[in-house]
Amino acid sequence: MASTLKSLRALSDPTRLRIVALLEGEELSVNELQEITRMGQSRISTHLGLLQEAKLLQSRREGKRTFYKLQPGPDGLEQEFIQLAIRGARELPEYAADQINLKRILARRNEQAQVYFNQVAGRFDRSYGPGRSWQAFGQLLLRIMPPLVVADLGSGEGLLSELLARRAKKVIAVDNSEKMVAFGANKAKKNGLKNLDFRLGDLENPPIEPQSVDLVILSQALHHAADPARAIQSAFTILRPGGHLWLLDLLRHNFEQARDLYGDQWLGFPESDLHHWLEAAGFKNIEIEVVAREEQPPHFETLLAGGEK
């Protein structure tokens, strides 16, 4: 009876139901559960401890990480509890987002190149090396970029567009501010960038022919869109088959002042929303990753998301 009561208590919290559902067919680390659910490590660890105490989970150590999975081969009653927990989790409003984020995390596990990059990036800022800088790396990457037709949507005054135009076949910079477009166009003319074309327009309906560009970039622009899903769908429309979309934007945050300070319509986005919109638009090989975290309040985090048409 005591074991039954422990199991019932352990499964009485919606968060623990979410965790059980996530571990239904997978083994996940604390950090992965944290990223999927967007909850703090101490909170996740507390819930995992209660589930483990009820003998519903087991764990193993791998280096500095601890992985959790459902207890294999539980008795009939515990199995019934687990199945009821999974059924209950499916009724929670967070379930769909959890499953999208789980899919993304598992796909990323297979990307060994990404793991290596994270290790390199982690070392880059900690050790000084003469002549090593992100600016220099950026110039190197620009030199090896193929001659693509690029659409920079929400380009502002065109800083990124101008850099890309020095190597791209053509760059179309779209912004909804007449002043920004005029400024960017004048600067491009002054710098002799004949392949940089500034156009006035919106993210949701950019003035670009369907299937006419190889690469679409949305750099810190999507949170200004009235309809982000439609903006992503429009990006898909103007891409040629095999083309790519890459977007940089903020992870969902609670810094309300951003609306007044920066004119943001959206306070960033959850990874699950971006994944859903990209998938709904028709993109495949979707990737989403937090690539930067600010150390100072409000601790903005930057997402890099992309997909292939």
pLDDT score of 154: 96
Domains of the chain, with CATH numbers? Answer: 2-97 (1.10.10.10), 112-121+134-308 (3.40.50.150)
Classified as helix, coil or strand, 210 is coil
| Distance linking the first and last C-alpha atoms of the chain | 56
Strand order in the sheet with 57-62: 28-29, 65-70, 57-62
* pTM, two decimal places: 0.73
Classified as helix, coil or strand, 131 is coil
Q: How far apart are CA 236 and CA 60, in angstroms?
A: 43
Four-point Cα dihedral 127, 133, 138, 141, nearest 10 = -60
Spatial neighbors of 16 by CB under 8 A, at least 6 apart, are 10, 47, 50, 51, 85
Report, as ranges of residue numbers, the positions in the chain whose pLDDT lies below 50.
1
Q: How far apart are CA 85 and CA 74, in angstroms?
A: 14
Spatial neighbors of 2 by CB under 8 A, at least 6 apart, are none
pLDDT score of 191: 92
pLDDT score of 1: 40
Q: How far apart are CA 122 and CA 255, in angstroms?
A: 27
